[in-house]
């Protein structure tokens, strides 16, 4: 018999070496959004062969050596995200808006006084870039004719002795046993043999019948930032070099809630009529990467750029808390351990990339630029790599993820003190199935005005992506089709001296 409790509470903290990381957790940090100065984003970030913009240093470090004068810039951005979900034919929509600091930094140019030196100038810069804005809202709802979320708890409970789920303490269990504990104490699952403490097989206590109304709500906030320390140099009149040391930092909070109800025929007062399972995740940490790059003026009009960005080596921390409620004809059950699980710190290595760029400058009237980026997502790894759990997840990522090709095209046209800008960006899916996460399509536009040493720039970026959102990692693996639309607006203030 299970404990005769409507409320089961364990207050405190628990420290665990057991992991719960998944592929989607790694993907959160492997991709970067189009952030930066308004000029940079208006041209879809196609700056690898151009330089002369603080955000261009994020693509090719040699971009700092193109500057002729000291420059300081700061950028604010407004981000609107809309998610349209389709779950078993039911369509829902949710949206989120935020306003944040996008970029801030400066570059210092030191021109050589020796007229006979081939090294014409040196540059140093420091720049902050927000690489990801995690503020998002996702809501899916529909009727599943197939599975109940009870299968999630069964998949974790199977193999765990009944005596542990009945008499154990949530705070002393690993992540898998905790999920089984929640399901058992919440009356979601029952042992096949409730008279045997060694029983390790479980069955669902949710009403059978094949129709389950389900809602999945996910709200997240936070950011991923990058602080760039750069040095560059110009050799003669045609060659520019640069090097970056990058400090990365991330803070991500996700609150999710899964609700399920049914009106299936019931043979027992203990059959579950509805339940709500909530999770709160906080991930934070920092990382390091480096970049090298060069830009060459092949002719007066044609410029070529080449840049390499190393993998980013993160050290991350996870905190997780959970709560489950359920209702049957007899009771309203609450399982709230009031415990924050502090998981052991772990490592994440995201893939590096190689960018080749070509630009054509039409004198002082305008330009067009093209960037191509190659990235191998299958090299993403959790660490320590000798950990059995991480070996399994890394193997799954290696099989599920592949290489991507990204194309960025940008243009600018000058009319007196005005600047008209536009761009296009395409990035292929990092998943081999091209369905879990689809291709990314984006276009951009912008306007700038020069007051001499002071410049004011504006940009608009539209992004379209699609994905299949899997609610849980195992047992209950239902997915919703998600179409995501982002509209980002930025403004940059530039001061040159």
pLDDT tens column, 94-130: 999 999 999 999 999 999 988 788 999 999 999 999 9
Report, as an integer, the average pLDDT of 133-142.
Answer: 96
| Residue-level pLDDT at 116 | 82
129-168 residues labelled b (16+ CB within 10 A) or e (exposed): bbbbbbbbbbbbbbebeebbbbbbbbbbbbebbbebbbeb
pLDDT tens column, 332-355: 899 999 999 998 899 999 999 999
| Residue-level pLDDT at 10 | 37
pLDDT tens column, 345-393: 999 999 999 999 999 999 889 999 999 999 999 999 999 989 888 999 9
Q: Are strands 7-8 and 332-335 parallel, antiparallel or unpaired?
A: parallel
Peptide bond into 17 cis (omega under 30): no
| Residue-level pLDDT at 19 | 63
Listed in sequence order, the residues at least 6 apart from 3 whose beta carbon sits closer than 8 Å to its beta carbon are: 166, 185
DSSP states of 204-235: E-BPPSS-EEEEEEEEEEEEEEEEEEEEEEEE
| Residue-level pLDDT at 9 | 35
Q: In this structure, what DSSP letter does residue 60 have?
A: -
Separation between Cα atoms, residue 313 and residue 119, nearest integer Å: 34
pLDDT tens column, 1-12: 454 333 333 334
Helix H or strand E segment including 162: helix 162-167
Topology of the domain comprising 9-147+216-496: Porin (2.40.160)
| Residue-level pLDDT at 412 | 97
| Residue-level pLDDT at 11 | 39
pLDDT tens column, 227-257: 999 999 999 999 999 999 999 999 999 999 9
Q: Using a CB cutoff of 8 Å and minimum separation of 24, what contacts does 391-400 make?
A: 393/21, 393/22, 393/23, 396/23, 397/23, 397/26, 399/432, 400/23, 400/431, 400/432, 400/433, 400/436
**473, burial (CB in 10 Å: exposed 0-12, middle 13-18, buried 19+):** middle
The answer to whether 484 and 82 have CB atoms below 8 angstroms apart is: yes
Task: At 144, list the tokens.
Answer: 């599943």
| Residue-level pLDDT at 5 | 37
Task: At 261, list the tokens.
Answer: 């109800």
The rounded mean pLDDT for the chain is 92
Helix H or strand E segment including 131: strand 119-133
| Residue-level pLDDT at 443 | 97
173 pLDDT higher than 70: yes
The answer to whether 439 and 476 have CB atoms below 8 angstroms apart is: no
Separation between Cα atoms, residue 248 and residue 313, nearest integer Å: 9
Report, as an integer, the average pLDDT of 416-444.
Answer: 95
Report, as an integer, the average pLDDT of 142-169.
Answer: 93
53 pLDDT higher than 60: yes
> Among residues of the chain, what percentage have pLDDT more than 90?
82
pLDDT band at 18 (very low <50, low <70, confident <90, very high): low
* 3 state DSSP class of 497: coil
pTM: 0.91
Give one word for 366, left, alpha or beta, with left for phi > 0 and alpha for psi -120 to 50: left
pLDDT tens column, 436-448: 999 999 999 999 9
The answer to whether 397 and 450 have CB atoms below 8 angstroms apart is: no
CA dist list (Å): 276 to 154, 234, 338: 16, 61, 16
Report, as an integer, the average pLDDT of 215-230.
Answer: 96
Listed in sequence order, the residues at least 6 apart from 428 whose beta carbon sits closer than 8 Å to its beta carbon are: 404, 405, 406, 434, 439
Task: At 392, list the tokens.
Answer: 């399994």
């Amino acid at each position: 018999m299970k404990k005769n409790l409507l409320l089961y509470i364990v207050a405190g903290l628990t420290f665990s070496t057991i992991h719960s990381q998944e592929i989607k957790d790694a993907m959160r940090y492997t991709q970067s959004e189009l952030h930066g100065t308004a000029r940079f984003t208006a041209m879809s970030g196609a700056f690898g062969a151009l330089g002369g913009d603080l955000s261009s240093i994020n693509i090719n470090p040699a971009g700092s050596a193109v500057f002729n004068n000291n420059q300081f810039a700061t950028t604010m951005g407004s981000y609107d995200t809309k998610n349209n979900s389709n779950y078993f034919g039911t369509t829902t929509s949710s949206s989120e808006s935020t306003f944040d600091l996008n970029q801030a930094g400066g570059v210092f140019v030191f021109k050589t006084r020796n007229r006979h030196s081939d090294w014409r100038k040196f540059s140093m810069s420091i720049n902050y870039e927000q690489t990801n804005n995690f503020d998002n809202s996702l809501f899916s709802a529909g009727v599943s004719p197939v599975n109940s979320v009870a299968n999630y708890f069964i998949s974790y409970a199977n193999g765990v002795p009944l005596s542990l789920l009945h008499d154990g303490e949530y705070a002393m269990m690993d992540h898998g046993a905790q999920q089984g504990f929640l399901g058992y104490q919440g009356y979601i699952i029952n042992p096949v043999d409730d008279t045997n403490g060694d029983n390790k097989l479980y069955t669902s206590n949710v009403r059978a019948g094949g129709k389950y109304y389900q809602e999945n709500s996910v709200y997240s906030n936070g950011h991923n930032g990058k602080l760039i320390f750069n040095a560059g140099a110009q050799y003669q009149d045609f060659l520019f070099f640069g090097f970056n040391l990058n400090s990365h930092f991330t803070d991500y909070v996700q609150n999710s809630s899964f609700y399920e109800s049914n009106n299936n025929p019931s043979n027992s007062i203990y059959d579950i009529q509805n339940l709500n399972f909530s999770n709160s995740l906080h991930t934070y940490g920092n990382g390091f990467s480096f970049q090298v790059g060069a830009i060459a003026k092949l002719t007066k009009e044609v410029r070529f750029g080449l840049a390499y960005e190393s993998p980013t080596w993160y050290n991350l921390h996870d905190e997780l808390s959970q709560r489950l409620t359920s209702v049957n004809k007899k009771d309203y059950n609450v399982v709230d351990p009031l415990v924050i699980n502090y998981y052991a710190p772990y490592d994440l290595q995201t893939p590096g990339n190689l960018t080749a760029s070509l630009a054509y400058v039409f004198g002082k009237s305008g330009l067009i630029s093209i960037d191509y980026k190659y990235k191998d997502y299958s090299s993403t790894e959790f660490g320590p790599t000798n950990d059995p759990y991480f070996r399994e997840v890394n193997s799954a990522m290696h099989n599920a993820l592949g290489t991507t090709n990204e194309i960025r095209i940008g243009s600018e046209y000058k009319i007196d003190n005005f600047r008209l800008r536009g761009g296009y960006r395409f990035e292929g899916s990092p998943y081999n199935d091209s369905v879990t996460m689809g291709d990314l399509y984006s276009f951009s536009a912008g306007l700038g005005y020069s007051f001499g040493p002071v410049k004011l720039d504006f940009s608009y970026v539209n992004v379209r992506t699609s994905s299949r959102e899997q609610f849980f990692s195992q047992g209950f693996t239902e997915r919703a089709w998600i179409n995501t639309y982002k509209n980002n607006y930025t403004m940059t203030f530039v001061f040159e001296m």
